[in-house]
């Protein structure tokens, strides 16, 4: 088998692309101006327009196809006893080169933009345990309030009555309200769908993902519905260019909070509480236990129900998947890996401090 010149060219371009991406990582101002606020909004809107109207996930099908092709390549390589090994590897590397290019052009460069806090003009400082306690207490107050508003009884568990597809439409309304205060967080041309791989995602403890090649937000439709609104809003935040997990969490919180629906507001403070109380437990476990005592029994039942749900899907492969995702996040400027999700606490504290100042 002769070497294909096009394949060889794409192989050579891969290290050049990697170098350019790493160069971009060191120039967030450039990425912010020319990519995040330059070409990316046009790319993302275009992808959502051409794929958003379809009732099923093209992104899931694409991932399935790519996995099939990868396994096919391995099988053929082994069964042919590595005949024409070099041309085949070059062909495979050429495909990787194209995918790498598409990933970073279509979405991935958003990992290297300026921090969201800077974008929102937040003056972030290291927060104290007292600040964390105060914010957590405020969040508990809001969480209890919305639980009681919904159930009319502080011992009853919240039961979200909406279907998943209803919440996809409702989430857009939250972003429309959010845009009035934060124009930079505007969302246009919805493309949110239930993932075809929801069962697999459940076994991997994944709530959803945003496919960078198709611009679709794919949500696991099997997860508990009380937290579903913030998961949807989180994936939509990825779509508008906030790649860092803590930033997507925060934008998702804002979008759900700005929604007029009580179930969305409940979900937003539910998520905020889970992150804040987790951070407080690391600093002062006794204090965190005391704050749990102030949470309505109905909310406790909700958290317990969610815990039991995820326990049902525990499996030996989950840690392996998490390690892989952890490595992926670290490779894209999120030094703490999966722990990066917890950094949303910094943004929440700054946000509530800003509210008090105003």
Tokens of 174: 């939250």
Which of 92, 112, 132 lies at the terminal end of a domain, its last residue? 112
Residue 203 sits in the same domain as residue 261:
yes
Residue 73 sits in the same domain as residue 149:
no
pLDDT digits (tens, 9 = 90+) for 118-162: 988 888 788 899 999 999 999 999 999 999 999 999 999 999 999
Of 112-121, 204-213, 298-307, 326-335, the poorest mean pLDDT is in 326-335
Residue 152 sits in the same domain as residue 35:
no
Number of domains in the chain: 2
Q: How confident is the model at residue 318 (pLDDT cuts 50, 70, 90)?
A: confident
Q: How confident is the model at residue 268 (pLDDT cuts 50, 70, 90)?
A: very high
Residue 25 sits in the same domain as residue 139:
no
Whether residue 112 has pLDDT greater than 90: yes
Q: What is the sign of the dihedral through the CA atoms of 26, 47, 119 and 126?
A: negative
Domain region containing 62? 5-112
Residue 204 sits in the same domain as residue 319:
yes
Average pLDDT over the chain, rounded to an integer: 91
What integer pLDDT is reported at residue 358 of this predicted model?
Answer: 46
Is residue 248 within 8 Å of 234, Cβ to Cβ?
yes
| 3-class DSSP state of 101 | helix
Q: How confident is the model at residue 336 (pLDDT cuts 50, 70, 90)?
A: low
Tokens of 33: 């101006």
Buried b (16+ CB within 10 A) or exposed e, 285-296: eebbeebbeebb
What integer pLDDT is reported at residue 357 of this predicted model?
Answer: 44
Q: What's the helix, strand, coil split of the chain in %, to 5?
A: 70, 5, 25
Which of 55, 85, 112 lies at the terminal end of a domain, its last residue? 112
Residue 236 sits in the same domain as residue 350:
yes
Residue 80 sits in the same domain as residue 56:
yes
Ramachandran region of residue 259, left (φ > 0), alpha (ψ -120 to 50) or beta?
A: beta
What integer pLDDT is reported at residue 356 of this predicted model?
Answer: 62
Residue 43 sits in the same domain as residue 168:
no
Cα separation of 198 and 273, whole Å? 25
Residue 95 sits in the same domain as residue 178:
no
Residue 329 CB contacts under 8 Å (≥ 6 apart), including other chains:
245, 336, 337, 338, 340
Residue 108 sits in the same domain as residue 120:
no
Residue 242 sits in the same domain as residue 181:
yes
Bigger pLDDT: 234 or 357?
234
Residue 35 sits in the same domain as residue 122:
no
Q: What is the pTM (predicted TM-score) of this model?
A: 0.93
| 3-class DSSP state of 316 | coil
Q: Give the number of other Cβ atoms within 10 Å of residue 297's Cβ.
A: 13
Which of 112, 140, 161 lies at the terminal end of a domain, its last residue? 112
Is residue 253 within 8 Å of 162, Cβ to Cβ?
no
Cα separation of 24 and 232, whole Å? 29
Long-range contacts of 26-31 (CB under 8 A, 24+ apart): 27/112, 28/112, 28/113, 28/114, 28/115, 29/114, 31/109, 31/110, 31/112, 31/113, 31/114
Tokens of 154: 């502080």
């Amino acid at each position: 088998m002769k070497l294909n010149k096009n394949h060889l060219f794409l192989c050579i371009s891969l290290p050049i692309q990697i170098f350019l991406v790493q160069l971009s990582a060191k120039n967030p101002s450039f990425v912010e101006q020319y990519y995040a606020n330059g070409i990316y909004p046009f790319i993302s809107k275009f992808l959502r327009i051409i794929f958003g109207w379809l009732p099923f996930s093209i992104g899931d099908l694409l991932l399935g196809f790519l996995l099939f092709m990868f396994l096919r390549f391995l099988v053929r390589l082994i069964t042919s006893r590595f005949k024409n090994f070099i041309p085949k590897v070059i062909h495979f590397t050429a495909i990787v080169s194209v995918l790498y290019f598409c990933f970073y052009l279509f979405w991935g460069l958003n990992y290297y933009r300026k921090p969201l806090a800077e974008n929102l003009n937040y003056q972030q400082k290291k927060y104290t345990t007292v600040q964390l306690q105060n914010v957590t207490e405020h969040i508990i107050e809001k969480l209890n309030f919305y639980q009681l508003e919904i159930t009319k009884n502080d011992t009853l568990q919240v039961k979200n009555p909406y279907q998943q597809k209803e919440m996809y439409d409702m989430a857009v309304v939250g972003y429309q309200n959010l845009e009035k205060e934060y124009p930079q967080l505007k969302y246009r041309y919805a493309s949110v769908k239930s993932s075809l791989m929801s069962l697999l995602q459940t076994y991997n403890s994944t709530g959803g993902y945003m496919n960078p090649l198709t611009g679709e937000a794919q949500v696991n439709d099997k997860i508990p519905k009380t937290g579903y609104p913030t998961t949807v809003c989180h994936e939509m935040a990825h779509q508008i260019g906030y790649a860092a997990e803590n930033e997507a969490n925060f934008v998702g919180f804002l979008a759900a909070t700005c929604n007029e629906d009580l179930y969305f507001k409940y979900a937003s403070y539910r998520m905020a509480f889970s992150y804040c109380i987790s951070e407080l437990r690391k600093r002062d476990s006794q204090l965190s236990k005391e704050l749990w005592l102030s949470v309505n029994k109905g909310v406790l039942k909700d958290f317990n129900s969610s815990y039991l749900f995820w326990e049902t899907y525990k499996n030996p492969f989950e840690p392996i998947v998490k390690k892989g995702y952890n490595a992926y996040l670290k490779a894209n400027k999120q030094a703490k890996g999966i722990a990066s999700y917890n950094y949303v606490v910094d943004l929440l504290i700054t946000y509530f401090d800003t509210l008090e100042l105003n």
